[in-house]
Chains A and B, each alone.
Chain A
Amino acid sequence: MSFRHLRAIVRKEINHIIRDRTTLILVMVTPTALLFLMAYALTVDINHVPIAVLDYDQTPTSRAFVEQVTQGNDLDLYAQVDSLDEVNRLLVRGEVKAALIIGTAFERDLLTLRGMNLQVVIDGTEPKTGGFAVERIGGQAEAFIGELLADQLQSLGITQSSLQPINLSVRAMYNPGLKSRVDMVPGLISMVLGFPALSVALTLAHEREHGTLEQVLVTPVGRVEFLLGKMIPYVVVGLVNVIVIPAIARATFNIPFNGSFALFFLLSAIFLLAILGMGMVVGVFMRTQPAALALSFLVIFFPGFFLTGIFFPIVAMPEEMRLEALGLPGTHYAVITRGIFLPGIGLDVLWPYAVMLVGLGVAFTAVAVFFFRKKLG
Chain B
Amino acid sequence: MFKRIWSLVIKEFIHLIKDWWMPAFMLFGGASELLLVGWATSRPMTNLPLMVLDRDQSQASRAVVVALENTGTFDLQSQAPDMATIHNALERGDITAAVIIPPNFDNQLASPTGHPSLAVLLNGAESTPATAALQAVEGVARETGERVTLRRLNLNPDEFARFNPSLRVWFNEALNEAYYTTPAELGLMLEFTILLFAALSFSRERELGTLEQLLVMPFSSLEIIIGKSIPVILVGFFDFLLMLGAVHFFFGVPVRGSLPLLLVIAFGYLLVELGKGLVISIISRTQHQAFLLVMMVGMIDFMFTGYAAPVESMPRIAQIVANAIPANHWLNILRGILLKGAGLDVLWPQILALAALGVLIGAFSLRYVRRALD
Q: Note all chain B residues with C-beta closer than 8 A to A183.
A: 124-127
CB-based contact A343/B288 at 8 Å: no
Most buried by B among A114, A184, A293, A311: A293
Is A345 within 8 A of B170, CB to CB?
Answer: no
Given contacts A38-B299, A302-B189, A167 and B118 within 8 Å (CB-CB): yes
Interface residues of B in 81-117 (CB under 8 A from A): 90-93, 96, 109, 113-117
- Whether A169 contacts B169 by the Cβ 8 Å rule is no
Which stretch of B35-43, B222-230, B240-248 is in the interface?
B35-43
- What residues of B have a CB within 8 angstroms of the CB of A121 in the complex? 168-170
* Interface size range of chain B in the complex: 35 or more
State which of A54-62, A124-132, A214-222, A367-375 sits at the interface with chain B: A124-132
Q: Which residues of B contact A45 (CB under 8 A)?
A: 313
Query: Does B374 count as interface, using CB distance less than 8 angstroms?
Result: no
- Report which of A115, A171, A307 forms a contact with B37, defined as CB distance below 8 A: A307
A80: interface (CB < 8 Å): no
Residue from the list A287, A311, A335 in contact with B308, Cβ < 8 A: A311
Contact A313 B292 (CB under 8 A): no
Chain B residue with Cβ nearest A161: B115
User: Are B124 and A174 interface neighbours, CB within 8 A?
Assistant: yes
Interface centre among A114, A145, A168, A179, by most B CB within 10 Å? Answer: A168
Measured CB to CB, the closest approach of chain A to B308, in angstroms, equals 4
Residues of B within 8 A of A91 (CB): 170-171, 340
Bound form: Cα–Cα A70–B125 in Å: 32
Residues from chain B with Cβ under 8 Å of A124 in the complex? 169-173, 175, 179, 339
Min Cβ gap B271→A in Å is: 21
Tell whether B357 is near chain A: CB-to-CB under 8 Å: no
* Of B113, B126, B137, B318, the contact of A338 (CB 8 Å cutoff): B126
A137 interface residue per 8 A CB criterion: yes
Specify which of A88, A162, A168 is in contact with B138 (CB 8 Å cutoff).
Answer: A168
B175:A321 contact, CB within 8 angstroms: no
A330 CB-CB contact with B under 8 Å: no
Nearest-Cβ distance from residue A205 to partner chain B, whole angstroms = 9
What is the chain B residue whose CB lies nearest that of A338?
Answer: B125
Give A42 to B45 CA distance when docked, in angstroms: 20
B-contacting residues, A281-320, CB 8 Å: 286-291, 293-295, 297-298, 302-303, 306-307, 309, 311-313, 315-318
Measured CA separation A335–B300 after assembly (Å) = 25
A93 to B349, CA, bound (A): 9
Which A residues touch B25, using CB under 8 A?
291, 294-295, 298
B21: nearest residue on chain A (CB-CB)? A291
Residue of B122, B124, B318 most packed against chain A (CB within 10 A)? B124
Does B310 contact A129, Cβ atoms closer than 8 Å?
yes
* A180 to B, closest residue via Cβ: B127
CB-based contact B164/A116 at 8 Å:
yes
Residue B10 is within 8 A (CB to CB) of chain A in the complex: no
Q: Smallest CB–CB gap between A86 and chain B, Å?
A: 11
Contact A34 B299 (CB under 8 A): yes
How extensive is the interface on chain A, given as a class? 35 or more
Binds A, one of B128-136, B212-220, B364-372: B128-136
User: Separation in Å of the A341 CB from the closest CB of chain B?
Assistant: 8
Contact B120 A171 (CB under 8 A): yes
Which residues of chain B come closer than 8 Å to A174, judged between CB atoms? 123-125
Please state if A163 and B47 are interface contacts (CB–CB under 8 Å): no
State the CA gap A123–B335 with chains docked (Å).
11
- A176 part of interface (Cβ distance < 8 Å): yes
Please give the distance in Å from B259's CB to the nearest CB on chain A: 17
CA distance A23 to B285 in the complex (A): 9
Contact assessment for B168 and A315 in the assembled complex, using a CB-CB cutoff below 8 Å: no
Minimal beta-carbon separation of A85 from chain B (angstroms):
11
**Residues on the B chain within 8 Å of A303, using CB:** 36-37
Closest to B128 in A: A313
Complex CA–CA separation, A294 to B25 (angstroms):
6
Docked-complex contact A37 and B124, CB < 8 angstroms: no
The answer to whether B346 touches A92 (Cβ under 8 A) is yes
New A-B pairs, 18, CB < 8 Å, besides A38-B299, A302-B189, A303-B36 = A20-B289, A41-B315, A116-B164, A118-B166, A124-B179, A130-B169, A164-B149, A166-B142, A169-B120, A178-B131, A180-B128, A209-B208, A288-B21, A291-B25, A307-B40, A309-B126, A312-B128, A341-B125
A: residues with CB less than 8 A from B are 20, 22-23, 26-27, 30, 33-34, 37-38, 40-50, 88-89, 91-94, 97, 114-116, 118-131, 134, 137-138, 141, 145, 156-158, 161-176, 178-180, 182-184, 195, 198-199, 202-203, 206, 209-210, 286-291, 293-295, 297-298, 302-303, 306-307, 309, 311-313, 315-318, 321, 335, 338-339, 341-343, 345, 349
A-B contact pairs, 30 of them (CB 8 A): A23-B288, A23-B289, A37-B299, A43-B309, A49-B310, A115-B159, A115-B163, A118-B165, A120-B167, A124-B170, A124-B175, A127-B177, A129-B313, A138-B164, A145-B163, A162-B149, A168-B120, A169-B118, A171-B122, A172-B122, A174-B123, A175-B130, A180-B131, A182-B124, A195-B295, A206-B287, A294-B22, A295-B25, A297-B196, A306-B37
